[in-house]
Amino acid sequence: MSMNKDDIVYVITEDGDQNLESVMFSWGINKFGWGTTTFKYKDGELVCDSETLSRQDVKDILCDFVDRARFVDGKDEGPALKQNPPIEKEEEEK
């Protein structure tokens, strides 16, 4: 299937049968900093709180997020293009 981005009809945030109020992406960029980018619906409009990042910066972060994912439906072209750093688990308090 070939998709043209102009043909996309809708994109919504949901988790199973529940509509989510927002979706948040946390990010860290070398020599830049870290932050979060949040998408939510406000008054029926999809809005993005980008913490002053440009639209292109947000696109680059989301593209990187996709490149780090391994697709499970067999449509992936191979392993994740980028590896995530290991996530350190907090030690359990006794």
Once rounded to an integer, what is the mean pLDDT over residues 13-30?
A: 74
- pLDDT surpasses 50 at 94: no
| Structural domains in the chain (count) | 1
Task: Work out the average pLDDT over 45-58.
Answer: 91
Q: What does the pLDDT look like over 69-91, one tens digit per residue?
A: 777 776 766 666 666 665 555 55
Residue 21 lies in a domain: yes
Q: What is the dihedral of CA 29, 32, 35, 41, to 10 degrees?
A: -90
Q: Is residue 16 part of a domain?
A: yes
Q: Does 30 map to a domain?
A: yes
Give me the pLDDT at residue 34, please. 86
Q: Give me the percent of the chain exceeding a pLDDT of 70.
A: 56
d(CA 33, CA 31): 6
* Residue range 46-69: mean pLDDT, rounded: 88
What residues form DSSP beta bridges with 45? 42
Distances in Å between the alpha carbon of 29 and those of 23, 39, 54, 85? 20, 19, 14, 13
User: Are 45 and 85 within 8 A, CB to CB?
Assistant: no
- The verdict on residue 77 lying in a domain is no
Q: What confidence score (pLDDT) does residue 49 get?
A: 94
Give me the domain span that covers residue 20: 5-67
In a domain, 94, yes or no: no
Q: What pTM was estimated for this model as a whole? A: 0.66
Examine the pLDDT at 43 and tell me if it is beyond 60: yes
